[in-house]
């Protein structure tokens, strides 16, 4: 059973930085290469939105970002550790949300997993 455990959230002042981590267990490194990875966020009263995504490593690992975070957030993965990251810089109050990692197999789109979510609060 694959599990994603995300961590790294917290309270930060505007302009600050945080790095979120998401560790995948129950999947081998060779299999994890076939997963698309994403970070989503959901603020109170708002719909969940895709923040950043990375194609599977076997597909080139290209990245994409929501316009609201381009130039400030960076998604990355360490396949040796089965871990994905979201580096968030120049944080703004509007970045406050619960952030969740997501992984989906390109071999079977029905196979997808979610982290439990980690709260990020940007406030002075």
Please tell me the distance from the alpha carbon of residue 41 to that of residue 100, in angstroms, as a whole number.
Answer: 6
pLDDT at 34: 94
Tens of pLDDT, residue by residue over 31-73, are 899 999 999 999 999 999 999 999 998 999 999 999 999 999 9
User: Tokens representing 39?
Assistant: 């970070």
pLDDT for position 122: 98
Q: What was the pLDDT predicted at 39?
A: 98
Three-state secondary structure readout of the chain: CCEEEEECCEEECCCCCEEEEEEEECCCHHHHCCEEEEEEEECCCCCCEEEEEECCHHHCCCEEECCCCCCCEEEEEECCCCEEEEEECCCCHHHCEEEEEEEEECCCCCCEEECCCEEEEECC
Whether 1 has a pLDDT exceeding 90, the answer reads no
Average pLDDT, the chain: 95
What is the pLDDT at residue 46?
96
């Amino acid at each position: 059973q694959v599990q994603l455990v995300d961590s790294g959230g917290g309270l930060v002042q505007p302009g600050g930085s945080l790095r979120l981590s998401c560790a995948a267990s129950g999947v081998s490194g060779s299999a994890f290469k076939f997963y698309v990875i994403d970070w989503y966020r959901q603020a109170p009263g708002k719909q969940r939105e895709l923040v950043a995504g990375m194609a599977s490593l076997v597909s080139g690992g290209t990245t994409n970002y929501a316009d609201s975070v381009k130039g400030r957030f960076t998604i990355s993965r360490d396949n040796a550790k089965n871990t994905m990251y979201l580096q968030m810089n120049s944080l703004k109050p509007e970045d406050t949300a619960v952030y969740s990692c997501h992984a989906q197999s390109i071999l079977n789109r029905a196979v997808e997993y979610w982290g439990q979510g980690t709260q990020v609060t940007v406030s002075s």
